[in-house]
Amino acid sequence: MSLSRAKRGWFSDWWWTVDRVALFAMFALIAIGLMLAFAASPAATAHNSSQAGNFYFAAKQIVFAGVAAMIVAACSLLTPPDLRTAATIGFVGSLAGLGLVLLTGQEVLGARRWIDLGFLTIQPSEFLKPSFAVLCAAVLAQKEQGGFRKELLSFLLAIVPLALLILEPDVGQTGLLLALWGAMLFLNGISLVWVGAITGAGTALGGLAYVLIPHVHHRVQQFMSGGKPGYQSGLALKAFEHGGLAGVGPGAGTIKYHIPYAHSDFIFAVAGEEFGLVLCGIIASLFCVLSVRLLVRASSAADKFSQLAGSGLALIVALQAFINMGVAVSLLPAKGMTLPFISYGGSSLFAVAVTMGFALAVTRQRPAVVTLSKRETDLLFGTSEARA
């Protein structure tokens, strides 16, 4: 069975305009995530007497992956105006969720980040990033009116979510959102004054987090000391060492049973132990292919909104993947951030599905609409008046 470019229909139009290379990379990462969910699930349930050693988390992840695939497909069908509308709804909903987290969220290590729905826990900050990227792109792509600078408008868009994230506090998501905003301003072309201001703001926030938040202070001190790595990071390094080049084999890992959150934050270490450097290299390569492909498609888009939105959405996943893998190999201080597509969790998987669905939608190669004058139309269709 083959699809013809001449055949018209919504699926045919979608298939021939969507970035199929990026789509393949996404679903390859989801497939790897399901495989690693089966590898990590027995370790994640080992301390629960009623679920010990079973594949409870893997079974749930299969359901999450199916829903995520539908989210990617549905979001990729959106037109640019629909994308702005969806992003607006997502942005307002995420802000409401962040406010609800501060009021009712369960406190863990001095932070409130999750809303427990019973069957699913939601982290609103995960859904904030793609909607912010699209809306920030819309602001920066518009023409300036009344002398009100677009950079200032984008700052007003960012300040409320940044304040809510600081109040949780969620240092990682705050830094990621600030980096995303700075990157989009840079791609839009900003002066060195703005570069210095954003860099200074980021440094100041990082310094305050180090001084005021005990667990952040502890993790940074541990990382900067140059001595023995932290408990989780140390176990992750042992997992990579144990796995070597080809790994110890599916299900044969032992260090994963001692790593807290092996199925989510440190899933990359499980990949290293059971499947070795080979699978880790494949995962990193797929993220590179996905990010670079989307950035290239975004750069060749016809309008500025698509260029900025596509680039911002690609950077979200690239930065988050880099942070998670960097923590796992002790290149960065420990931070509770999931590996996109691969870590266990519906909230994380659904949010990255929205992000990549938006990215596929905005980078689709839609045919340009050309408006012809009356004379050009007459010439095209060969009317007698035009020939005369």
Q: What pTM was estimated for this model as a whole?
A: 0.85
Asked whether 311 and 298 are in contact (CB, 8 A), the reply is: yes
Asked if residues 223 and 326 have their Cβ atoms less than 8 Å apart, the reply is no
- Longest CA pairwise span in the chain (Å): 90
**How many helices, marked H, and strands, marked E, lie in the chain?**
15, 4
Domain coordinates in residue numbering, the chain: 18-387
Tell me the mean pLDDT in the region 52-77.
Answer: 89
- Please state the rounded mean pLDDT for residues 338-362: 93
Residue 335 has a pLDDT of 76
Count CA within 13 A, CB hemisphere, residue 388. 3
pLDDT digits (tens, 9 = 90+) for 66-124: 999 999 999 999 999 999 999 999 999 999 999 998 888 776 656 678 887 777 788 89
DSSP 117-168: -SS-EE-HHHHHHHHHHHHHHHHHHSPPBTTB-HHHHHHHHHHHHHHHHHHT
Q: CA 203 to CA 87: how far, in whole Å?
A: 29
Cα 7 from chain centroid? 34
